[in-house]
Structure 1
Amino acid sequence: MRRGEALALRWTDIDFEHRVLNVERQLQKLAGGVITICEPKSRAGTRQIALDHDTIRSLRAHQRRQEAEQTTAGGTWTDSGYVFTTVLGEPLAPDHVGHVFQQLVRRHGLPPVRLHDLRHGAASMALSAHVDLKVIQHQIGHASIVTTADTYVSVLPQIAREGAEATARLLREAARGYARGQWRASGRERPGRHDDAGGEAA
């Protein structure tokens, strides 16, 4: 998800039972510091994202932490319904989130990375896991699969090579299986195999 999409996410957008979330809006900070809600970057930005079990568990744990913050805040809590909020329930400013992320990167001695780079990292890992490019296009909200391919062109050659090797392995296994079947059907002995104990076994 883009930063603004994540910050605009509401708990009602998450279907825990079916493990999906709906991206329907994004949060932006306008000139003068006014935070507003608007539509996603493009029509393709309005999408449904499948979630894995670990992410569901993390969201549940985060929900419990937020409920504890609400109890602590008492009457000062703002019931905004957002997934990611301040300790008083108010929406987070996008630039503040980016600033805090940079602080965490420096604190833990990580290589220079922007918050937006995590989005690219997630897509690259999905490609490395052999997720179909069309699925990734939908997940990250690109209007065109060409945009997705162009963005991750550095990852695709390695994926293509792995795909070629996997296809070749499948073809070799199929050929060996076919050959074994042919020899069995003919009742002939396979080449390289002898009955005597000192013979060669293929």
Structure 2
Amino acid sequence: MNQYNEKVKEGKISSTTVRYIHAVIHGALEQALKNNLVAQNVSEATTLPQERKKEIHTLTMAQITQLFSAIENDRLFPAIMLELTTGLRRGELLGLHWRDVDLNAGILTVRRNLVRIKNHEAKEGEKKTKLVFQEPKTEASRRTIPIAQQALEELKRHKARQEQEKRLAGPSYQDNDLVFCKEKGLPIDPRNFTRHFDILLKRAGIPHIRFHDTRHTFATLMLELGEHPKVVQQILGHSKIAVTLDTYTHVPLDLEKRAAEKLNQALIERKIPPSQEGI
């Protein structure tokens, strides 16, 4: 058990991974204790490594405008715009099918993720991993969210271009009904999509951020614009509002200051006129 912290110090595993491992070991020993297979649950004597939050880097509105301007002719520009206006997870974005999108109502529904997993059935010479579509892990992740008008218009143009790609490819096109795919219809590998995103950032002269930080950017902007955390939670697909609030603790303080300013202004506006004092 003491090896937990040693592994973290060596940089071999993260503190989050240690906590997952500990949860599995603790649960197994707890069941063994109930079955009288062990005298005690020794995992309870373990001191877990302190969980460190990953630093969040977000784009400003000015940087988003700069990015959009620099990449508007890129084939995957619609994907980046949709991401920054919905906060979808990468797998959700790449797993989006046209049947999940209602262009008339301006909404989309998250029903699956595109992920790369180990291919346990791989034979010699075959790839050890494969792309698969998986259902969301939680009910909160299965959600319907609105599409911003600009993103909606861009999606309509993207769909028209995609139809042209189908015609040009002819029989070689593999229609998987994917909103964002390769030129011949195949799914885009999430890792390749991230690499392309990195290239787009460089092209726009924007400092590097993780693709997942686009999700953080969306959430941060929504909160800074005064959107209620509950609404942001539902759009992001967080199971609990505590997750949203805990992740974006850097935003509420600013909102609290703004709320205090609003209250102060309201008190000033409703201040009793001097002529009525003492009545």
TM-score range (shorter-chain normalised) is 0.7 to 0.9
**Which residue of 185, 192, 200 corresponds with 1:104?**
200
Alpha-carbon distance in 2 for matches of 1:109, 1:33 = 34
Unmatched segments (≥5 aa) in structure 1: 184-189, 192-202
Matches within 5 A, 1:141-152: 141-152=237-248
Distance in 1 of aligned mates of 2:234 and 2:165: 34
Matched, 1:72 2:173: no
Structure label with greater radius of gyration = 1
Q: Compute the displacement of 1:62 (Å).
A: 1.1
Once residues 23 and 89 of structure 1 are traced to their aligned partners in structure 2, the CA distance between those partners, rounded to angstroms, is 20
Aligned residues: 180
Deviation at 1:115, TM superposition (A): 1.0
Match of 2:111 in 1: 24
Deviation at 1:28, TM superposition (A): 0.6
**SS of alignment partner, residue 185 of structure 2:** coil
Matches within 5 A, 1:95-174: 95-173=191-269
- 1:104 aligns to what SS in structure 2? helix
Alignment match, 1:200: none
Give 1:196's aligned residue.
none
**Per-residue Cα deviation, 1:10-44 (whole angstroms, up to 9, x for no partner):** 11111122211100111111122311111114221
Q: Which residue of the partner structure matches residue 32 of structure 2? A: none
Matched, 1:11 2:107: no
Letter in 2 for 1:43: E
- Give the drift of 1:170: 2.8
Q: CA deviation at 1:159?
A: 1.3
Residue 130 (structure 1) shift: 0.5
What is the rounded CA distance, in whole Å, between the counterparts of 1:138 and 1:63 in structure 2?
27
TM-score normalised by L of structure 1: 0.83
Indicate the SS of the match to 1:28. Answer: strand
Secondary structure of residue in 1 paired with 2:256: helix
Q: Which has the higher contact order (CA 8 A, sep 6+)?
A: 2
Q: Is 1:63 equivalent to 2:150 in the alignment?
A: no
Equivalent of 2:135, from 27, 39, 52? 39
| C-alpha separation in 2, matches of 1:166 and 1:59 | 38
Structure 2 segments unaligned to the other structure (5+ residues): 1-87, 119-127
Deviations, residues 95-119 of structure 1 (Å, cap 9, x unaligned): 1101111122233332111111100
**Partner residue, 2:84:** none
Aligned: 1:86 with 2:182: yes
- Distance in 2 (CA, whole Å) between partners of 1:91 and 1:10 is 11
**More off after superposition, 56-65 vs 128-137:** 56-65
User: What CA distance in whole angstroms lies between the structure 2 residues aligned with 1:166 and 1:10?
Assistant: 43
TM-score, normalised to structure 2, is 0.61
- Report which stretch shifted further, 106-115 or 77-86: 106-115
SS in 2 for 1:137: helix
- Secondary structure of the residue that 1:57 maps to in structure 2? helix
Deviations 1:140-197, CA, capped at 9 Å, x for gaps: 0111111100110011101111122123223332x15xx57xx9xxxxxx58xxxxxx
